[in-house]
Each structure stands twice: as C-alpha cells, then as structure tokens.
Chains A and B, each alone.
Chain A
Amino acid sequence: MKPFAYVKPADVEAAIQAAAQPGARFLGGGTNLVDLMREGIEQPDTVVDVTGLPFDTVDDLPGGGLRIGALVRNSALAADRRVRERYPMLSQAVLSGASAQLRNMATVGGNLLQRTRCPYFYDHASACNKREPGRGCDALDGFNRGAAILGVSASCVAAHPSDLCVALAALDAVVELRGQDGTRRVPLTDFHRLPGDTPEVETVLAPGELVTAVELPPAPVAANSRYRKVRDRASYAFALVSVAAALEVRDGVVTDVCLALGGVAPRPWRATEAERLLVGGPADESAYRRAAEAELAGASTRRDNAFKAALATATIVATLRELSTGGDPR
C-alpha cells in the first residue's frame, strides 16, 4: 500500500483535527479500509486511528431505545442482550455478515462506510466510475449478477454490501456525526447517497466528519423481527438479497411493519412503498406478495441480475410469513 502517516489521537477533538487535513482517513477495525489500501483503491496520506476513542459502549436510551457507540465491535453488538431481545433482526444481520474473525475486528462506524464489492471496483484494469470518476462502468455490460436493481444510475450499478445497515435502515436508526462544526444527526436512510452522476460520493459525510454513534429509537414491533440473507453459499458470502423485517399483526391485520432490503440497491433500501401497502391490510401471503412486487416495480435489471427482483419478492414474502406465523421459516 502507499506509504502513509499513522496517528492515534487520544480524544475526539484531536481526531477531527487530524482528519481535517486533505488525504486523511479514519481507521476503525480496518477490515475494509486496509483491504482497499492494499489494493491501491484507497490511498490516504494520513490514517487517523480512532479505536482509542471512548465510543465503544451500547447504552440505554429513555423509552427503550439504544445508543450504539461507533466503535462497538460487530461481535459485541450482536451479542448484546438488549439487542438480542429488542432488535433481534439487528443481531442476526450482524451475525450473517463476514466471519467471526472479521466481526471481532469490524466496528459499527466502519460498517456504515463499507464500500461496494462490485468486482470491477476492485480491479484497476477495469473501468469504474466509483473508483475513477468519468472512466466508465464495466459492470453495465459485464458480470453484474451481484449488481443493484433499485436506485441505480447510468454511471453505477454497484450494490451496498452491508448487512448491519439494512437492519439499521429498517429500524429508523439515526447516525450521529461529529465534525469541526459540531454534532449533527442524520437518519440512516439519508446517510448513504444514491450514485446519480457522482457514484464516488457515497455518504453525506463532510470531509473530516466522524461517525460517533448510531441511535435506535424504541420500536416494540422490532421484538418480532428477522433478518434473512440469501447468498451463494451457506455462510461467509455477501448477500444476493437480504430482508430485514419486523411485523406486528392483530386480528389478521398488519398493524405495524418495518422492512428494508439489502443486496439490491446502492444503499440499504428502506421499502417504504411496501410498508405503506402492508399496514392496515390483511396479514396473508397474497398481500405480502403484492406489497413486495410494488416495491420492486421500479427495478432496473441488467444481463445477470434480473432474478433479483423475483428473489427479493420471494424473500420478503417468506420473511413476513415467518414473522406472522411465528414458525420456523423452513
């Protein structure tokens, strides 16, 4: 990797100061950034190691919500008893990502900034607008089985790779950011940007701005929730499609639902259209299917990924069915 300076600030102000320099990057667990640096895709001049900052706890919020420090390791988040009980989908989402070794390293903040696994993004010999703006996109007419089908643009079809973020999107999570101008809060669903003409800009983070925490509002519906990930092997693979869903049914009617999709869009995809159609409707399979199909109606598919719309639909239906019957999905 390109030589760089390494600093490990002791407090958040120093970290933000250090990262204000051009060419500086924050480093958390390193599981994505170190890989990208070795590949030459990320070439920071200064690496600001934030793992010494005190953002490594999960704390209760009034009313039953949780505040998750940005430096909480993925494995610690997944094992947290409160998360397991209040937001089971979040624990499942984390545990379905990567491997145990990587989860022991990766941080929540880093996970939000995970970059796509589109193979053309990773290969310097290929054209990629995200890696080199203006160079073109080899994925459009190349292998695009893993590519996104919602929210894509003519310049980029790369899918967002995170599992954790899909659950966060479903749970109305709010991201806390700290910069030189102070602290601000952004809904997770607004944190990641769609590619448009600038696929290299992936989030709303300002230069030098640091993710310090993610807050989960109380969500009783989330106690009945699931994360279902569909992939090419049984473990240790990125999602083809994933579904984060929470469901409340009373007297056969859907009274509350949270639904988000992974693997299908350049960002974690909150399925607001499906949610709108589901609430107040019957808790049955045909209603689930209609809602899912409506959400996927805008899908824009390419040579290899046309199956994703049907797969996403089937996975939404299966997950909601499981949540409404309380039974084993199998």
Chain B
Amino acid sequence: MSTTYADKTASATGKYVGRAVDRVDGPAKTTGEARFAAEYPYPGLAYAALVHATIPRGRLTAVDTAAALAVRGVIDVLTHENAPPMKPAPKVSFLDLSTLVSGTPVNYLATDEVHWNGQPVAVVVAETPETARYAASLVRPAYEELPAAVDFAAEEGNAVPQKGNLISEAAADKGDAPAALATAAHSVDLTFSTPPHHHNAIEPHATTAVWDGDRLTVHEAAQNIAWTRRHLAQRFGVPEKGVRVLSPYVGGGFGGKGSVWAGTLLAVLAARATGRPVRLALTREGVYHTVGGRTPSTQRVALGSDADGRLTALIHTSVSRTGRAGGMGEPITAGTRHLYASPNIHLRQNVVQLDLLANTFMRAPGESIGTFAVESAMDELACELGLDPIELRLRNEPDRDPVGGQRLAHRRLREAYALGAERFGWSTRDPRPGVMRDGRWLVGMGVATAYHPSMRMPANVTVRLGADGTVVVRCGLQEMGMGTATVQAQIAADELGVPLESVRFEYGDSDLPSGPGAGGSAQTASAAAGVLDACDKLRRTLLGLARRVPGSPLRGVRPEDLEARDGGLYHAGRGQTYAEILAAAGRGHVEAESRAGMLGFMVRTLRERRQWVRAATGAQFCEVRVDPDTMEVRVSRWLGVFDVGTVINARTAASQLRGGIVMGIGMALSEQTLIDHRDGRIVNASLSEYHVPVHADIPRIDVQWLNEPDSTMPLGLRGIGEVSITGAAAAVANAVRHATGRRVLDLPITLDKLMG
C-alpha cells in the first residue's frame, strides 16, 4: 500500500463519499431490533453477579458463601478457593499489541490479593438475574487489611517520571524554558487540577459466554474483538480459532470497552465452571468498580511571551496516576508538544501508582485534560497581555512541529479560527470581563484550540462482488455509533460504482477478517485503507477477467484508466457491467482481500512519525450564561470549526463531533468521580450522582469542517472521534472567565467555585 493518497483525494467527493447518508443501522436501532451483548437468549442460560471487595488493599482470609448457596436458584458461588484456574495476563509487548487489551494484570479468583476497593472477589451464578444479585449481597468476604495509598492529592508528591513508548514520548526539552520564563515580558504560571472521570456508556458492560468443549462463543460489549478473542484464548488456554467474539452492536464505549475487564473474564470463567451458558451484565455500580476511568491530574502550565504575545517559554508538566495493578500514564502534555511555536519548551509527565483500580483510555486520553490546562493558560496570557485570545494563538501558530521539526501534514487552524470568528460573531465580544449581559444573566465568550493526533492501525478487509451486483465488505471492526459501517459502505459503493443499497458491510464478528479496534480515532481511516486496497484489487481482478474474453471493450485498458460506475468498469465511454464480466468469465462472484501485517504497520508508523506530524485540529467557540445570584453556568451557544480532512458522511461526522463537545461540556461543568480519600471507595458510582449532561444542558451545537483532504491519509480523511472533546473544557472555562472575571483552575466548574 502506498503511503500517500494524492490520487484518491482527488475523487474524495464521490457519489456517496461526502454526503449526508442515513445510517445503515438506523432502522434496527429505532425499532428495538438491534441486539446488544446481554440480549442473546440461550437455552439453559444462567446469570452471574459479582461480589466486590470493600477494602482498598489486603488479602482474603475467607469467603463465607453459605448464605448465598442456600438461596434457592443459586447454581454456584465461585471464589479464589474453588474457581477453576485462569492463566495470567500476558506481559505487555509492542510486538503484539493485543497484549495491551488486559485492563489489569490481576488474575481474578486465582489470587487472594485485593488490589482496590471494588475488586471482584466472588461470582454468584444463579437461575435468574434477581437471584444472582441478591445472593451476591449475602457473600461475606473476610480480609486481612494492608496499608493502602489511595489519596491522589496526598500522594502526587511521590510521582516519578513517566516512561515514553514507541508512539508517545513523555518529555520534551527545547532551549531553556525556565530561564526564558524568568525573563519574559509577560507570563502566567498556573496549576490546574482535573478529577477522575468515567465513561458511563449507557450500556453497562455485558458478556454472554457459551462453551462447547474448547470452543467459546462470547457476545461482548467490546471495542476490540480481535484482541479480546486472542486474550480470552490465552487466559483460558484454548485455541484462538475456536474463540468467537461477537459485538455487532455496542452501546457506547468511549474507551471503557477498549480493554478486557473482570466482568468478561469472570463470565467466561463462570460458564466454564458451571457448564452453562452464562450472562454477566454489570450493574452500573459494578462498572465503576471493575472498569477503569480517566486519571485525575495536576498540571502546571507556565507561559512566557514578549511584549507582542510571541511565546518565549512554554512549560507544561503533569502528574497522573495508575493503579498499582495496571494502567498507563496518560499523555497529558502530548498535545502541547505540537500546539505553539516557542523557542523554549519544557514538557514532563509524571505518574504515581495508587491502590486503586487501573486507569484506562477515555475519549482523548491525555489531550482532553491536557488541552484544558494549556488552553486555559493561553487565555489567561491573552488577558494578561490585553490581547484577543484568537490573535494570541495566531501569533504563535507554528510552521513546523515546534519540538520535532517535522512537517505538519495538514494544518488549517488559521482558517478554522477565521471561519469560526465570523460565524460565531466574535467581533461582538466586549473583551472586558463581566460586562456582557442578557437580562440579568452574565454572558461570556471563550475560545480554545482542539488537537488530536491522527493514527492508523492495521486492518484486514475482504470485498466480494456477486453476479447479482451485490457487494459484501467484511472487516471485524466494531460499530459503537461512530458511523463506521455506514461510511465504509459509502466508500466501497463509490470505489466500485454501485448503489449504496447493494453494499452490505459485515462487522462485529471475530470470525471476519481481523479489523482495527475502535480507539485512537483510528478505525475509520484504518478500515478505509483496507477497503480502498481491496476494491482496487477487485477491480484489477475484474479487468483481468474481462481482458481474457475476446471482444471485451476493456481489452487493452490499463487499471489506472478504469472508471468504476453504473455497476461496471468503463474507459472512454466503453466498458462492461460486472454482471457481463462475470457471466463471460463463468464466475458467480469475485473476491479480493487486503491484508496488513503488524510488523509492516509498525515500521511504517515509525517512519511516518519522522516525516510529519498529523493531527485533527479545531477551533472551539463557547458562549455561557452565568446567573449572577447563584453562579449557575449554562452553555448557551457552541461552534466548533474542525480541520479533519475529508468528511465521508456529513451526518454521522457531525454527530461524532457534537458528541465529543457534549462530553467536553460535561467535563467542564459537572463530571467528576468522587474517590474517598480514606478507603479508595468510589462514592458516587451511579448515574444519579455522577452528572453527565442531560438534554437541558446542551444548546444547539454548530459544527463546521474545512473539508480539505489530508493527502497523507486514505481518502484524505482523519479520525474524528476524539478531537472535539479536546479544548472543549477550556473553551467553557475561558467563557466563564470572560463572563465573571474568575479563572477556575480546578474542574468541574461548579457554582461553589464561582461564589464569594
């Protein structure tokens, strides 16, 4: 596969690509026909429920299961004393990325160790879900408690420098930023904090597990079925080819379903132990206790500039946390590395291990909270300088990557801000804080830059064309609502010149060609590369078939001169339909495959990283209204202008971008996971006390995109799943600063932080 797509970007607005096409799964989702992981009936299905530890660290000394076993309808209670063994999780290796899929290294029910408050320590299997849950409440674990460190604020001084990895460095130094800061004409030096967050996909994680000998079928709410399959095969010591993971529908993930967590393993284990098909649907509280969330952070951002607002010093350091058993340091300063031209840059990421459940990826890990800090600090510097915050950003827009010096693959932030300012009415903003009003409401307007790197992963794809004109595209990826299935069908329809209705895209099944996970905003571009490649091969195969037939109008035509349209291949007004080609060749169908090896992928990724920096970027515009009596903040208007390359489907893309902004508004104003500093217990493990935005919190969100293809990406497209949450919280904070004169450094911006 070539690494540039200049030839494809020219045709980026095809018959379907670029259009607002209805989702292919729309009817299934609006009629109740779409079945999720906990919705597959099996004869003899049993139900499992988890028992969670109530101490942060220690050893189990006993687990009293007598009362639970005495409940009518209980089939078994599994504990570390009687559960069949499970193999330990494989060590993380970048040569086999599937090793990243283990949420924690804990070997549940094969250990008496308790690593966090909420860790599963027993599983009840029963005839009904009600019985399982009730009996689980009767299981009494006894512990020997050990000292635990659970308080992030108290422990952050013990943080150590984070290690970088192949795709993300954890530190950067250019020039002498501290010295430059000390002598800067203008400067700000601020310390920010962000709380833990949870994904809170509305579908709680669920697994339905069915064994047949050594063959295993798992209906799973998963973001990466290929890795999940391999991981389950490894943990249960069975051949990978006998494991089938099915995730045709996933009720939201946002990173929370990107790893294999306790519920999945224990459902499979319980099915193995009882010989029954077992369903384990986590309770909402159970999700909090067994699925990691976003790390809290403390961040320092110090900026120095000359009198004109040109940065002379840029310092961004962070502390995040992992569990002592699992998790990864977050790339909090990763975006800052690429945002602003400054001769002196100092970036550091530190991490502290606590006796809490491992953290995990949540929509734009690192960048979402990192941009809150750096984009708030930029706004504060603009206030300090008396300079318009957009102008400050434009004066510091880099031509090449500020740290690495690479070319910027495609960056149109200037255009994004220009379009946004015009469309949002930025010129009506009185720069003085606290003076704009709407009736009694204080009004504020803020901006911030959005930034998220564009990545790709390997994807295997097959495309099959039948004599009846139908096209089946197969790739084992996951569709959590991003629009993946729809956009890949659009791409294939254009590539083969067939009606969209005749394309069926099969996904969500690990028996399909191995697809990319839904993560890193990489899935659409990754799969698109495979679809393009497979369609190209298919056209060549068809051309080969046609050329063998005497009298074919395609004889002598070169592949690159072909035009796929109207259900056939044409050149200069002459050609044949696919049906004619296949009939003449005596074939019922043709099929082509695109395969991407992991080694080639890694080599290419590393090479490309030396060549250029690719990212989706955007300009976020937020207007808030603040009640001057109670200091309640309401977001009243929003505009995001994004530079995300080619947009394949205007409708699903808009939803993806809006969705990130909605989550960003939640992060800004209301979301926080409360972890008790004494025992590491999550205190608000519910949707009633963890406040995700409701309808009434969300105004009209205007999303725009520049729609200029990035010639280094397939079809010129960039992933859009994460960019729009970045910068969002800062845009809110900056608007609140404008409305009230108050800079809130600590998320969420609740009214108590604006009072007094």
**A residues adjacent to B (C-beta < 8 A):** 1-3, 38, 40, 117, 119-120, 122-126, 138, 141-143, 145, 230, 232-238, 240-241, 307, 310-311, 314-315, 317-318, 328-330
Report B's interface with A, CB cutoff 8 A: 54, 117, 130, 133-134, 137, 438-441, 627, 629-630, 632, 634, 669-670, 674, 676-679, 681, 683-686, 688-689, 691, 693-697, 750-752, 755-756
Contacting residues, chain A, for B629 (C-beta < 8 A)? 314-315, 317-318, 329
Distance of B314 from chain A, by nearest CB (Å) = 34
Q: Are B440 and A123 in contact (CB under 8 A)?
A: no
- Are A119 and B674 in contact, CB atoms less than 8 angstroms apart? yes
Q: How far is the CB of B70 from chain A (nearest CB, A)?
A: 12
Inter-subunit contact B684/A234 (CB<8 Å): no
Also in contact, A142 and B683, with CB within 8 A (given A307-B752, A330-B627): yes
Closest 8 CB pairs of A and B: A125-B54, A307-B752, A234-B696, A318-B629, A235-B696, A119-B683, A314-B629, A330-B439
Chain B residue contacts of A143, Cβ below 8 A? 674, 676, 683-684
Listed by A's residue number, 30 A-B pairs whose Cβ atoms lie within 8 Å are: A3-B134, A40-B137, A117-B688, A119-B684, A119-B689, A120-B683, A124-B54, A124-B137, A125-B54, A141-B678, A143-B674, A143-B676, A230-B632, A232-B670, A233-B669, A234-B697, A235-B694, A235-B695, A235-B696, A236-B696, A240-B751, A307-B751, A307-B755, A310-B755, A310-B756, A311-B751, A311-B755, A314-B630, A315-B629, A330-B441
Using CB atoms, name the residue of chain A closest to B635: A234
- 15 more CB-based (< 8 A) A-B contacts, given A143-B674, A233-B696: A40-B137, A123-B683, A124-B137, A126-B676, A230-B630, A232-B670, A233-B694, A238-B688, A241-B630, A307-B756, A311-B755, A314-B629, A315-B629, A315-B630, A330-B440
Residue in contact with A328 in the complex, picked from B117, B439, B694, CB distance below 8 Å: B439
A233 to B54, CA, bound (A): 30
Which residues of B are found within 8 Å of A141, using beta-carbon distances?
A: 678
- Least Cβ–Cβ distance between A117 and chain B, in angstroms: 7
The residues of B that contact A311 with a CB separation of less than 8 Å are 630, 751-752, 755
Min CB distance, B682 to chain A, in Å? 9
CA distance A199 to B669 in the complex (A): 33
When chains A and B are docked, how far (Å) is the Cα of A318 from the Cα of B632? 13
Q: Given A117-B689, A315-B629: A1 and B676 within 8 A (CB)? A: no
Shortest distance from the beta carbon of B103 to any chain A beta carbon, whole Å: 21
Docked CA distance A142–B752 (Å): 17
Chain A residues with CB under 8 Å of B677's CB are 142
Which of chain B's residues have a CB closer than 8 A to the CB of A318?
A: 627, 629-630
* Docked-complex contact A329 and B440, CB < 8 angstroms: yes
Question: Could you tell me if B440 and A234 are in contact, using CB atoms closer than 8 angstroms?
Answer: no
> Do A125 and B134 have beta carbons less than 8 Å apart?
no
Measured CB to CB, the closest approach of chain A to B611, in angstroms, equals 45
Q: Could you say which residues of chain B place their CB within 8 Å of the CB of A315?
A: 629-630
Q: How far is the CA of A233 from the CA of B134 in the complex (A)?
A: 33
The smallest beta-carbon distance between A52 and chain B, in angstroms, is 24
* B670 interface neighbour in A145, A233, A329, Cβ under 8 Å: A233
Which residue in chain B gives the minimum CB-CB distance to A315?
Answer: B630
Which residues of chain A have C-beta atoms less than 8 A from B54's C-beta?
Answer: 124-125
Q: B686: nearest residue on chain A (CB-CB)?
A: A122
The complex places the Cα of A122 from the Cα of B685 at a distance, in Å, of 10
How far is A143 from B684 in the complex, measured between Cα atoms in Å? Answer: 10
CA distance A230 to B632 in the complex (A): 8
A329 CA / B632 CA spacing, docked (Å): 13
Give the shortest distance, in Å, between A152 (CB) and chain B (any CB). 18
Please measure, in the bound complex, the distance between the C-alpha atom of A123 and the C-alpha atom of B680, giving whole angstroms: 13
Q: How far is the CA of A310 from the CA of B630 in the complex (A)?
A: 9
State in angstroms the CA–CA spacing of A117 and B686 once bound together: 11
Which A residues touch B683, using CB under 8 A?
119-120, 123, 126, 142-143
Q: Whole-angstrom distance from the CB of B114 to the nearest CB of chain A?
A: 12
Nearest CB in chain A: distance from B71 CB, A = 8
Taking CB atoms, residues of chain A closer than 8 Å to B678 are 138, 141-142
- A328 CB to nearest B CB, Å: 7
Chain A residues within an 8 Å CB radius of B679: 125
Nearest chain B CB to A238's CB is how many angstroms away? 8
- Chain A residues lying within 8 Å of B632, measured Cβ to Cβ, are 230
Contacting residues, chain A, for B438 (C-beta < 8 A): 330
Task: Report the separation of the CA atoms of residues A19 and B87 in the bound assembly, to the nearest whole angstrom.
Answer: 53
In the assembled complex, the Cα of A233 lies from the Cα of B756 at a distance in Å of 20
In whole angstroms, how far apart are the Cα atoms of A317 and B628 in the complex? 12
Task: Determine whether the beta carbon of B693 is less than 8 Å from that of A232.
Answer: no
Q: Please, how many angstroms separate the alpha-carbon atoms of A237 and B627 in the complex?
A: 18
**Chain B residues, CB < 8 A from A120:** 683
Q: Which residue of A is nearest B634, CB measured?
A: A234
In Å, the complex CA distance between A329 and B629 comes to 10
What residues of chain B lie closer than 8 Å to A329, measured between beta carbons?
Answer: 440, 629
Question: Which A residues touch B755, using CB under 8 A?
Answer: 307, 310-311, 314
Q: Are A2 and B134 in contact (CB under 8 A)?
A: yes
B134 and A230 within 8 A (CB)? no
Q: Which residues on A sit within 8 Å (CB–CB) of B137?
A: 40, 124
Look across to chain A and name the residue whose beta carbon is closest to the beta carbon of B678.
A142
* Complex Cα–Cα for A277 and B707 (A): 64
Chain A, Cβ-Cβ closest to B289: A125
